Amino acid sequence: MRIGFIGVGNMGGPIAAHLISAGHDLLVFDLNDEALDQAAELGATAVSSVAEAAVDAEVVFLSLPMPRDVEEVVSGEGGLFDVMDAGRIVIDLSTSSPTLSRSLALEAQERGLDFLDAPVSGGIYGARKGTLAVMVGGSVEAFERSQPLFDLFAAKAIRCGDAGAGNVVKAVNNMLAFVGMMGTTEALLLGSKAGVDPKVLREVVEASSGASFVWSSATRAILRDRLAPSFTNALACKDIGLAVDLADELEVPVPMGRQTQQLLENYRDNGFADEDILATVRALEEQASFVVRGIAPDVQ
């Protein structure tokens, strides 16, 4: 299949690599020349514009940082909708606005195209391993046509409903994850400074009512001090902002979500913008005069 791919950075690059490995013909575009070069080394054809990536493509994937980028690439002048033939599919893997996704899907329908919002979860590790979760919004037909492609880089792809539903689920998932991450950093620091072996604390909570995927993965990363920026605080602020905006639009109270948004934005504005979201534990350590990072480097 001839596939266009816009945005081959930290997430898009590994996803594109799986498509290339499966034998698909990829035309890729990115503003970062290094990312383009890496994709080309894997067998993709690097092009110099969005339009070039979309010409004659049966499917075009997007993996972009912000909703405004998605809107410009898809429906801006010279964007995908201007150059793609009827019957083709645009698949947006970005974490974006449900409202924007619904609007783009309607515009696509008017042009005889399909648009799927298909944000992913699983991080860079999942993208590289091909074990992402994909949350898809859009028509049943377009989802079923795209399923074989999702299967190349995802452990699970689920149609969540009509256009916008994928980004609704992603917003809810990320809001919950970030609330859990902030609570995890506080709980781990508190228990460790109180004198409990952090490995024991981690083991007991994992067998108790406080257990979660976030607790298990976040405590492992903090105790091993493996906090390279795989998911930056700036991106977390963008994602939780989408969830809070959706809550405002629907008049749903989300006091925990809003409090977490304010906390993350405070960290972002005080030196943690490009740090991993869990690296914000350093601010708590400073206030507590106790360092929990790296105190159990052998934790599994």
Residue 28 forms beta bridges with which residues? 5, 46
Question: Rounded to 5 degrees, what angle do the CA atoms 213, 246, 14 make?
Answer: 50
Q: Assign residue 271 a region: left if phi > 0, alpha if psi is -120 to 50, beta otherwise?
A: left
Residue 121 forms beta bridges with which residues? 133
170 has catalytic annotation: yes
* CA gap 134, 275 in Å, rounded: 25
Backbone angles phi and psi of 209, in degrees to 5: -70, -15
Asked if 296 and 223 count as a contact pair (C-beta separation under 8 A), the reply is yes
- Rounded to a whole number, what is the largest CA-CA distance in the chain? 65
The catalytic residue among 156, 170, 199, 238 is 170
Give the catalytic positions in this structure: 170
